[in-house]
Amino acid sequence: MTYDLNELYSQAFGKFIIYPGATNFTNFTEGFVPSALLGKQKRQSLLGTPILMPLKLDDYEFPLEPLIDVSLSKSIVVNRMVNAETNVLEDMGLDNFKLTIRGFLISETPDTAPLDELRRLVQLIKKRKSLKVGNELLNAFGIRELAIKSARFGDPAGGIEFKPYTLECISDEPVELRLREGS
């Protein structure tokens, strides 16, 4: 079974993705991988290209490399000063990272929906705890755990073999609370 994943991503998410080493963006049968990257991939995608930054949450390894958007904002207390040209910024802190993870579940069997993979992903989403993150990009941001806040599943026209998903997540950090004696 052959899919044009760029077309699927474009229809579902409005984004065109480029695979490392791909030179023909309508037919992904040829490719080149720089030798510096050859030892880093964990496995290959359905296109035969290396998955360079696989995503693993707890024990669930995503079957295709998803698109991951990361955003960070600050909490700033702003006080307006009477007769002053500017405001006074009193306190600044960082909010948790917000993440959007988008991808596809794909069945390699024609005319068959990826129901087993969908069930596994739904089990992951239903966990009532933060999930351990295994991904080089997210680890570079210091994200070691995240919680899934919401999930959306689409149903694109053109076949049942693929199911797009979008996960909205927030980073989490374990906090150790210590009680003082006599307090």
Higher pLDDT, 150 or 34: 150
Residue 91 has what pLDDT? 82
Is 43 among the domain residues?
A: yes
**pLDDT, tens digit, 9 for 90 and up, residues 89-134:** 888 899 999 999 999 898 888 889 999 999 999 999 999 999 999 9
Residue 119 has what pLDDT? 97
Is 177 among the domain residues?
A: no
Is 180 among the domain residues?
A: no
Residue 16 has what pLDDT? 56
**pLDDT, tens digit, 9 for 90 and up, residues 3-58:** 666 677 676 666 555 554 454 544 443 333 444 444 454 566 665 666 778 899 99
C-alpha dihedral, 127 to 121 to 6 to 100, nearest 10°: -10
State the Cα–Cα distance between residues 140 and 147, nearest whole angstrom: 18
Complete edge-to-edge strand list for the sheet that includes strand 145-153:
60-61, 56-57, 131-134, 145-153, 162-172, 98-106, 67-71
> What pTM was estimated for this model as a whole?
0.73
Is 183 among the domain residues?
A: no
Confidence check: pLDDT of 67 > 50: yes
Is 181 among the domain residues?
A: no
Is 80 among the domain residues?
A: yes
Residue with tokens 């490392």: 20
Is 178 among the domain residues?
A: no
Q: Could you list the residue range(s) of the whole structural domain that residue 99 is in?
A: 5-172
Is 93 among the domain residues?
A: yes
Count of domains forming the chain: 1
Closest CA to 107 of 64, 157, 74: 64
CATH number at residue 16: 2.40.30.200
Q: Contact, 92 vs 75, CB < 8 A?
A: yes
Q: What is the average pLDDT across 143-156?
A: 94
State the Cα–Cα distance between residues 141 and 125, nearest whole angstrom: 22
